[in-house]
Structure 1
Amino acid sequence: MPKFRTALRTLATAGLCLAASLPAFAAPEILRVHHFLPTGSTAHAKFITPWCAKIEAESAGELKCQIFPSMQLGGSPAQLIDQARDGVADIVWTLPGYSAGRFPIVEVFELPFMISTAQATSRAVWDFVQAHDRKEFEAVHPIAFHVHGPGHFFMVKKPVASLDDIKGTKLRAPTRLTNLMLASLGASPVGMPVPQVPEALSKGVIDGAILPYEVVPAIKGHELTKYASEGDPKFAGIYTTVFVFAMNKARYASLPEKLRKVIDANSGADTSAWIGKVYDEADGPARKKLADNGNTINTLPSAELEKWKAASSSVAEQWTKDVSAKGADGARLLEAARALIADHSR
C-alpha cells in the first residue's frame, strides 16, 4: 500500500511538471460587433461576417467576433458611434450622417453627383479622413470608411423620369445633405434610417425612397415599391452615403500587440476599397431581383441628369459655407474630395 501511494504521488508530480511545461492557451478575445441591419443584408453577410472570419483565421483563433445585427444590443442606429466610443460594443458599423451636424466634414462625399464607383470612392474617403478629417473621429479607432454604390429612386405609385415627377413627392433620405438635395429637386424630404423605410412605405408615410440597389431586397423594397429609376451609369451617381466601421479605442489598445497588428492588417485604405467593391458587386444581383419581381426600371439619361445637377448645385454651396463658418476651408476640402475620387477612379 505505501508503494502504491508513492507511485500515485510520483504520477501526480509528473503530471504537474508536464502541465507547467506546456504553453498556456489564453481564452480568445471576443469582439462584440453591433450594427443595424438584418443578417441577410450585404453588410452582415458579405462584409462584416467575412471580415470577422478573416481576423479569426489570421490570429489563429485568438480573435473572434460576436455579431449583433438589427440593434440587438439596444439603442438606435444614430447611437452606434457613441456605443463604440463608450464601449457598449467593441466594434460598430454605422453612418456618421445619422448624427446630423456632428460629422460635417466627411459629409462632402454625400453631396449630389460625387460618387464614381463605391470601390474608388471608399478608398478616397479613407484617404481624405487621414489627410483632412481625423479630429471628427478621434473618439473611436476607425477600421474602415466606405460608401455604397450610386443611389436610385424607388417609388410606390409612379416612376421618376424627370424633375417634374419629383416635385411634391414625400421621399425618404438617409442624411442631412440628401435631404437638402431632395428639397433642391422639389421633393419633400423625410429623413429616416433605413430600418424604418419598410413601415413608412407600407403605411404611405412616404411615396418612395432613395436607396442603393443592394439594400432593397434586405428591406423587401422590391415588394413594397413598383418603380425604380436609376441614373445613367456613365454619369456620376446621384448620391451616396458614408459609413464607418469603428472600434472602441480602449478595447483596441488593450489587445496584445500581435492582435493589434491583425486588426491593423485588416484596416485602412485597402480594406475600405474592398468593402466598397463588395457593395459594387451586390448592386447587380439586387437589381435583378427587382426585375424578376416585375418591377419597372427606367434609366434617367445624362441630359436629364445635367438638369438635376444644376438644380442641386446649391447643396455644395451650402455645405461649403457651413464648414467654412466652423473654421474649415470648405472650397479646398471639396476640391480635395473630388480630386481623390477622380484619382482612385482612373
Structure 2
Amino acid sequence: MSIATRLMATAAISASMAAAPALAETTLKISHYLPSVHGIHTDFIVPWTEQITECTGGEVQFEIFPAGTQLGNVARQQEQVMAGVVDIAHGLHGIPRGRFPRTSLIDMPFLTDSAGAASYALWELYPDYLAEEYKGLKVLALHAHNGGLLHTNEKKVETMEDMDGLRIRTPSPAVSEMLSYLGADPQGLPPGEVYESLQRGVIDGTVFPWDPVKSFGLNEVLNYHLDLGAYTVSFFYVMNQRSYDALSDEAKACVDQYSGDALVSQFGDWWDSWDVPGREEAIAAGHEITELSDEERARWEETLQPMMDSYLQTVKDAGVDNADEIYQAMQDKIAEYEASRQN
C-alpha cells in the first residue's frame, strides 16, 4: 500500500469516528438524610451507584447528597424527587406525617422487630396494596429497620410507669401514638437534631435501632437503653419517573437489575451488621442495657391494643378503606418470611 493510499485510509477512519455519535453520559442526583458514615450510604447507596455505572459502561454516573448538604434534609426527600430537584431519594415514610398512610401500617407496634421480615412484607405488598402512594415515582426499594429501642439519658426505663411524662423523640405517626399510650410525650424531630436536643435537655430520650445511635454519635449523650423490639420504621428508595423514562433501554435494564427483589433482600443482613457497632459502643461506654421482660411486654401489648385499633381507624378515615386488609396482609407476609427462615 502506497503512502498516499495509507493516508487516505487513515483519513477515512478518522472521518467515520468523528461522525459516530458519542456515548451520552447522564449524571443522576441522589439525596438522603443520613451521615456519609452510615451503612445506608457506605454499604447500600454508594455500591448501588457503582453497580449501575459499571453495568451501563459509564453511561450513567451519580452525584450523592447526604446529610449536611443542601439536599440532605429528611423532611424534603419526597418533594425533591417528585419535583425533579433530585433524580433519586432515600427517605423516611413518617416524615413529613401523613403522606404514606398505607405503607406506614408496617410501623404498628409488635408487628415485627425484623428488618428482613418488614422489608419483605413491604416489597411483596407494594404492587397490589401500596402502589397508589407512589404515583410519579419509580420505586426502587421499600425497606424497614430492625426493632427499635428506647434510649434515655437520665432515667432508666423498665416498666410502663417509668415512661410517664418522658419527652421522647418519635420517627412516625404510629410510633407517636404508641408512645402516647405508654404515658410518654412524643416529640417529632429529624434524626440530625436528636443529639443537641438530648444535650440541651429538650428531650429525655429517643427511639432508634442501634445503628443511628452510632452514626449520629448519640452514645455520648445517652446512658440507658431498653431493648423493646416493639416497633419498626420504614423507608423509601425512589426515582423520579421522568428521570427513569429518559434513560436508554440499556440503562433502565441496569437500574432494574440492581433494584427491587435483588436490593430489598439484602436489608435484613445489612441491618443486623449495622446494629452491632452501636451496641458495642454503648457497652464499652458502661451504659446499662435492659431487655423488656415477657411480663412487661404482655402489659404493653394489652395497653396498646386500643391504640392499634384507633390508628387503623385513623388510616381508614384518611381514605384507606382497606386498611384492615393491608394490615392483615402485612402480618401474613411477615409470618411467611419468618417461616421461610426457619426451614
Q: TM-score, normalised by structure 2?
A: 0.92
Matched, 1:269 2:261: yes
Cα 1:75–1:149 change in 2 (3 A) is closer
Alignment-derived partner of residue 246 in structure 2 = 254
Matched, 1:279 2:271: yes
* Residue in 2 that maps onto 1:234: none
Distance (Å, rounded) in 2 between the aligned partners of 1:18 and 1:103 = 53
Separation in 2, partners of 1:53, 1:275: 18
1:122-201 to structure 2, matched below 5 A, reads 122-201=119-198
For residues 74 and 190 of structure 1, the distance between their equivalents in structure 2, rounded to whole angstroms, comes to 24
Q: 1:168-247 maps to which residues of 2 (within 5 A)?
A: 168-231=165-228, 237-247=229-239
CA distance in 1, matches of 2:99, 2:307: 18
Query: Percentage identity across aligned positions?
Result: 28
Encode CA deviations 1:90-146: one digit per residue, 9 max, x unaligned. 100001210211211111100111124101210111111222111111121110000
**What secondary structure, in the 3-state scheme, does the structure 2 residue paired with 1:98 have?**
coil
Structure 1 residue 46, shift from structure 2 partner: 1.6
Measured in 2, the distance between the counterparts of 1:219 and 1:75 equals: 14
How far is the alpha carbon of 1:15 from its aligned partner?
Answer: 5.1
Between the aligned partners of 2:174 and 2:322, the Cα distance in structure 1 is 18
**Larger deviation, residues 135-144 vs 273-282:** 273-282
C-alpha deviation, 1:71, in angstroms: 5.2
How far apart in 2 are the matches of 1:57 and 1:32? 17
Matched, 1:337 2:330: yes
Deviation at 1:82, TM superposition (A): 1.1
User: Is 1:146–1:272's contact at 8 Å kept on the other side of the alignment?
Assistant: yes
Task: Name the aligned partner's letter for residue 211 of structure 2.
Answer: E
The residue that corresponds to 2:11 in the other structure is 13
Encode CA deviations 1:299-333: one digit per residue, 9 max, x unaligned: 11222111111111223211221222325122222
- Match in the other structure for 1:303: 295
C-alpha separation in 2, matches of 1:69 and 1:332: 36
Distance in 2 between residues matched to 1:61 and 1:41, nearest whole Å: 26
8 Å contact 1:97–1:176 — kept in the other structure? yes
Aligned-residue CA RMSD (Å) = 2.1
SS at match of 2:236: strand
CA deviation digits over 1:19-70, x for unaligned, max 9?
258x654143211110111111121112111211222222232222211111
Give, as a single letter, the amino acid of the residue that structure 1 aligns with 2:322: D
Match of 2:312 among 312, 320, 323: 320
Question: How much has 1:267 moved relative to structure 2?
Answer: 1.8
Q: Tell me, yes or no, if structure 1 residue 80 matches structure 2 residue 73.
A: no
* Aligned match of 1:91: 88
Are the structure 2 counterparts of residues 101 and 168 from structure 1 closer, same or farther at C-alpha, using a change threshold of 3 Å?
same
Aligned length: 336
Residue range with higher mean Cα deviation, 321-330 or 83-92? 321-330
In structure 2, C-alpha distance between the alignment counterparts of 1:298 and 1:162, rounded to whole Å: 11
Segments of 4+ in structure 1 off by > 6 A? 6-9
After TM superposition, the structure 1 stretch with the greater mean CA deviation from structure 2, 139-148 or 23-32, is 23-32
* 1:26–1:345 distance in 2 versus 1, CA, 3 Å: same
Instruction: Classify the secondary structure of the residue corresponding to 1:89.
Output: coil
Deviation at 1:75, TM superposition (A): 6.9
Q: Is the 8 A contact 2:211 2:274 kept in 1?
A: yes
Contact 1:31 1:66 (C-alpha < 8 Å) held by counterparts? yes
Provide TM-score, normalisation by structure 1: 0.91
Within 1, Cα distance between the matches of 2:305 and 2:61?
46
Is the partner of 1:291 in helix, strand or coil? helix
Q: Return 5+ residue gaps in structure 2 as ranges.
A: none
What do the CA deviations read for 1:1-28 (whole angstroms, capped 9, x no partner)?
xxx9x8998487345235258x654143
- Is the 1:71–1:77 contact (alpha carbons within 8 Å) kept by the matching residues of 2? no
Give yes or no for contact 1:119–1:273 (8 Å, CA) kept in 2: yes
Instruction: Please show how residues 106-121 of structure 1 align to structure 2 within 5 Å.
Output: 106-121=103-118
SS of the residue corresponding to residue 113 of structure 1 reads coil
Greater shift, 201-210 or 53-62, is seen at 53-62
Tell me, in whole angstroms, the C-alpha distance in 1 between the residues paired with 2:316 and 2:91.
Answer: 26
